[in-house]
Amino acid sequence: MQTVDEIKQLLHRNKLRLHQELLQSKEAYHLIKKSTHSHLTEEEKLKIKIQLLDICKAIPAFTVFMLPGGALLLPLLIKLIPDILPSAFKEDPEIDNK
């Protein structure tokens, strides 16, 4: 069983990761909006592609989480299929140390 401090640390870490994912989604939105009136660089196109793939990964994870018992099932799926999580939620020592 985890201590209260460990749970607080996990919640804080996931809050930072969620914030990072939202910032990336916002950037992708602005790049898509920009693409309607000008050409994007290859780097910008790659950012959009990565973020759209992250959004597509988040939908099944969210669906599993919403199922009855999904909160217990999702960690098992993450162990079996590590690519189910968006890139912001993968282990990142930089975020973990903040």
Tens of pLDDT along 38-87?
A: 999 999 999 999 898 888 887 877 788 788 888 788 778 778 877 777 77
Report which residue type is found at 69.
Answer: G
Whole-angstrom Cα distance, residue 44 to residue 32?
A: 9
- With a threshold of 0.85, does the pTM exceed it? no
Residue 18 has pLDDT above 60, yes or no: yes
Any alpha helices (H) in 1-98, and if so which ranges? 4-35, 42-66, 70-80, 93-96
Residue 13 has pLDDT above 90, yes or no: no
Report which residue type is found at 29.
Answer: Y
- pLDDT score for 20: 87
Residue 29 has pLDDT above 60, yes or no: yes
- Two tokens at 26? 């916002």
- Closest by Cα among 87, 52, 40, 84 to 65: 84
- pLDDT score for 95: 46
- pLDDT score for 26: 92
Give the torsion sign (CA, 42, 48, 51, 52). negative
Whole-angstrom Cα distance, residue 46 to residue 2?
A: 39
Residue 12 has pLDDT above 70, yes or no: yes
